[in-house]
Structure 1
């Protein structure tokens, strides 16, 4: 079995110039969690996942430190207040981050295979790194010709066992 036996040829992709907000809208309409990012020549430049975009809107610190003290006092005291930032911060982050191009948030170290790649190599990639959930299939010039998701491999093995 080779990658061509597992891959889906109808691949939905995004451009590196697409806005984060546009890609978020596309994720809302599809049943998968990652898009290959391709240039005008269909060469794979990266992958953008839901996780990449969610990370943009996660508050890093939900603690507000307020300095207490008035000039000319040099020393100030600080008080820690835990504020439920999630709703406020998410809204602010969405406005700030939504216009960013996908090229700034995509993963550029993309694992790819060719249609002739043996299924064992595909399995090694998908089982070796928990962050690799899909593998673009590319031709000799790096242009996308298909994609293999983990569920495609599972489905192929199931179908093979049932045959």
Structure 2
């Protein structure tokens, strides 16, 4: 079975200049976990939920920052500079262009390649989706779920 037999030709995409906030809304509205970043029909990057979640990592807290009720009470006691810097960082994230966080080393596949090859790339590189490229342009996307559904048809 070939990639073209299981791929989705209706790909939700964004441009490098779209804001992170817009991309987050696109992911939610389309119930997807990632999408290609396209410029003039060519894939220039990929952005995923994981990329967005990494924006919430605050180094001085050693990981993901989720305030507890106790932290809210502690705010006056903490160093206000750190709290304000963290708050400002979170407020500014949504207005940044997606090109600031997208991954540019994109693995792709041809519609004529086998689903076994697609599966091997996805597994080897621990990714969830592969843009399908023909003649240098995006023509579809294939996900882990697409491949599994294809295997069910064999």
Q: Which TM-score applies when normalising by structure 1?
A: 0.77
Deviation at 1:92?
A: 3.0
Q: 1: distance between equivalents of 2:122 and 2:5?
A: 16
Deviation at 1:91?
A: 4.3
Q: Which residue of 2 aligns with 1:138?
A: 133
Contact kept, 8 Å, 1:46 with 1:109, in 2: the verdict is yes
Q: Which residue of 2 aligns with 1:55?
A: 54
Q: CA RMSD in A?
A: 2.1
For the residue of structure 2 that corresponds to 1:112, the secondary structure is coil
For the residue of structure 1 that corresponds to 2:58, the secondary structure is coil
Q: Which residue of 2 aligns with 1:13?
A: 13
Deviation at 1:90?
A: 6.4
Deviation at 1:154?
A: 0.6
1:123-162 matched pairs, under 5 angstroms? 123-130=119-126, 132-140=127-135, 142-160=136-154
Pick from 91, 97, 101 the counterpart of residue 95 of structure 1. 91
1:19-98 matched pairs, under 5 angstroms? 19-39=19-39, 41-62=40-61, 84=71, 91-98=87-94
Q: Which residue of 2 aligns with 1:120?
A: 116
Contact kept, 8 Å, 1:57 with 1:90, in 2: the verdict is no
Contact kept, 8 Å, 1:62 with 1:84, in 2: the verdict is no
For the residue of structure 1 that corresponds to 2:32, the secondary structure is coil
Pick from 97, 100, 105 the counterpart of residue 101 of structure 2. 105
Runs of 4 or more consecutive aligned structure 1 residues displaced over 2 Å after TM superposition = 87-94
How many residues are matched? 137
Gaps of 5+ in 1: 64-82
Higher helix share: 2
Contact kept, 8 Å, 1:135 with 1:147, in 2: the verdict is yes
Contact kept, 8 Å, 1:113 with 1:138, in 2: the verdict is yes
Contact kept, 8 Å, 1:16 with 1:103, in 2: the verdict is yes
Q: Which TM-score applies when normalising by structure 2?
A: 0.81
Deviation at 1:28?
A: 2.0
